Each structure stands twice: as structure tokens, then as C-alpha cells.
Structure 1
Amino acid sequence: MITSFSCYSRFFAALSLTSAALLALSGCNNTIKANVDNHSVTQPAATLSPAVKVIVGDYASEGYAKRTQGDDWVAVMVKADGDKQIDIKIRARSDVKKPTCHFDGKATLMGQDDAHGIIFQSKVNDSTAFFQFKDDKLTIDSQDKYALNYFCSGGGTLVGDYQKLASGLELS
């Protein structure tokens, strides 16, 4: 599916992108947990769009690799919440330091193509946040460069790049 992103061309032009084909999931579990009305339900993976299937997982900022040395890091947990919606939880490390970022929200599939990857959007305060998934990387940005600072203390922001982890998060 190719979707036009003309109204967001300035946003995407600022991102450094490489083109690559989206990877299809194979050999995965046939169910995905979704959180609906605070109840955990099992949703057959076949009912999820391919875009949602491929991006579900845990992502972390660059500091995650050096967490044992005390580096700060931010984790992003992405779960399916229906066919074209995801549940996003963002947490800064809290194992050693007071957490600096906290966000809970839902984002809706905006579109996808080979050049931009898979784009989800979410209303955040008076702005729109974009969640771009491409090549096992999540890039978070917004039309308002300060809108995503609200969820962090100490001058932090949710804006940035996060790498998909091969296995789940290690929070210790």
C-alpha cells in the first residue's frame, strides 16, 4: 500500500532515510497480546495488519547498550491494540536513577511505503507525534519540536531514534 505523505513532507525531508523492503514475520507465535479496557486478551495474529505485526516489540535508545556502566536510556514498548492501532509505553531507566521520561499512548496507522517505512501518529497535547518504523529502528518526532519534552524532566525529550531489541528488555 502506498500512501501520500505530502502534508508531512517537511517532517520526512528532515529525517535521514534509506530505502529497504519491509520484512515479513514468519515463524512467530500465532497470537499477540493486546490491552483492551485494562484487560489482557489474546488476539489472533491473522487479524492484525502486516504493518502492526512487523513493528510490535521493544525498542531502546542508544544508552541501553551501556546500561551496566550507568548510562541513561529510554525504552519504548510497542504492543498491538487492534488491526491498525498500537499501544505505546515509554519509560526511562528507573533501576538506578529517578526516571526522567514517562509516556502512555495509542497511535494509529497513518500509512506506509518503501521510502518512509511504517508511520503511526498520535495526538499529543496540541500537536501530533509521529512514530516511524523502518529497518528495526523507531524514530519519534513531532510537528512541534517541544511537544514531546512535556513527558520528560531535566530537559529530556521523547524525540529521537530507538533500536528494536532482538529479545525483551532487561530492566535491571
Structure 2
Amino acid sequence: MSILKTLVVSGSIMLAFNSCTKEPVKNETPVPVEQTATPKMMVDGSYATADYEKRKEGYDWVGVIIQNMDDNKISVKIRSRADKKKPSCTLDAEATKTKEGVYHAMLNGKNVIFTFNETSVTIDTENPQDKDGLHFYCSGGASIAGTYTKIDAPLDPAQVDK
């Protein structure tokens, strides 16, 4: 029992000694750090090749329709003019976000990249050697690869392939 009392007294003395030698805790108010979130790029909408502007003159064109499915997935529909002849390009796919403004889809075993900015989307393959695979979705030697400019309205319903 005396050993127990000695341990308790010794522990109390050491505790008191340690508490006297510690520096007092400073009561500083943390400086708030302003956090700015990266604005989410709005990728949904309609995009078209340059010839879309000349569609009333009979030019053939290809359009891309993007719809958000959720925060990390989009629906990609590629359609072409279909009122004067058979449509030249058609694709329905889903793409997954890899980073802000960049989505990828696996098409016929090839990784296809959709890169967005405020005014356009560029469709390309991750591996340049796979680019020929993007001809599969078009006829007459055309390809879905390229840059499409964002337009303010949906693709012309009188001309677009459903």
C-alpha cells in the first residue's frame, strides 16, 4: 500500500511540475482563407462543324448534342444533315469526366477524348494511331474527329437526323 501511495504522490508532483513549465496556449483567431471554387464548365448544348452556318445553301454538316447525365457523365449524340441525302455520321455514346472539361469514352476498344472549352468541343483519340477508328461512325470517308463550335440553339430540327 505504501508503494501505491508513493507512486500516486510522485505522479502528482511530476504532473504539477510539467504543468508549470508548459507555455500557455495562445488564443489566436485563425485567419480565414478565401477558397474559390473552380467554376464548373457547362458542356451541355449543341455543337456543329463550320458548314452548319451554310446549311441553307445546301452544305453538309455534322453536329454534336451533349446532355449532362450527372456530374461526371454526359450523353454524346453525333448527327448529320439528313434532309437532302442519307446521314453521313451517327453516334450515340456516354462519356465519363476525367477532369474539368475533359471526358472519355471507350468506342470499339479505343479511348476517345472529348475536350471542351467555352466555345467548342474537340473529338480525338487518346492514341493518335487509333484515329482511323473514328471513321467507323461516318460514311464516305468522313470522320467524327475534329473541332465543333458551340451554337446558341438546338440543331436545325428540319435537317438533323433523328
1:171 aligns with 2:143: no
* Partner SS for 2:52: helix
How far is the alpha carbon of 1:168 from its aligned partner? 1.8
| Aligned position for 1:74 | 62
Residue deviations 1:87-136 (CA, integer Å, cap 9, x gap): 00001110112101100000000113xxxxx1100001121111000131
CA RMSD across the alignment: 1.4
Percent of aligned pairs with the same amino acid: 36
Alignment of 1:93-104 (within 5 A): 93-104=81-92
* Partner SS for 2:55: helix
Query: 1 CA distance for matches of 2:57 and 2:85?
Result: 13
Q: Is the 8 A contact 1:95 1:171 kept in 2?
A: no
| Aligned position for 2:103 | 120
Structure 1 unaligned spans of 5+: 1-22, 25-49, 113-117
1:129 aligns with 2:98: no
How far is the alpha carbon of 1:83 from its aligned partner? 1.7
Alignment of 1:131-150 (within 5 A): 131-142=114-125, 143=127, 144-150=130-136
Number of equivalences: 118
Moved over 4 A (4+): none
Structure 2 unaligned spans of 5+: 1-37
Q: What letter corresponds to residue 148 of structure 1 in structure 2?
A: L
| Aligned position for 1:111 | 99
Q: What letter corresponds to residue 140 of structure 1 in structure 2?
A: I
How far is the alpha carbon of 1:137 from its aligned partner? 0.6
Q: What letter corresponds to residue 131 of structure 1 in structure 2?
A: F
How far is the alpha carbon of 1:147 from its aligned partner? 1.3
When the two structures are superposed, what TM-score results if normalisation uses the length of structure 1? 0.65
- Structure whose residues are more often helix by fraction: 2
- Structure whose residues are more often strand by fraction: 1
Query: 1 CA distance for matches of 2:121 and 2:71?
Result: 19
Query: 2 CA distance for matches of 1:171 and 1:154?
Result: 23
Alignment of 1:11-50 (within 5 A): 50=40
Query: 2 CA distance for matches of 1:145 and 1:168?
Result: 28
How far is the alpha carbon of 1:145 from its aligned partner? 1.1
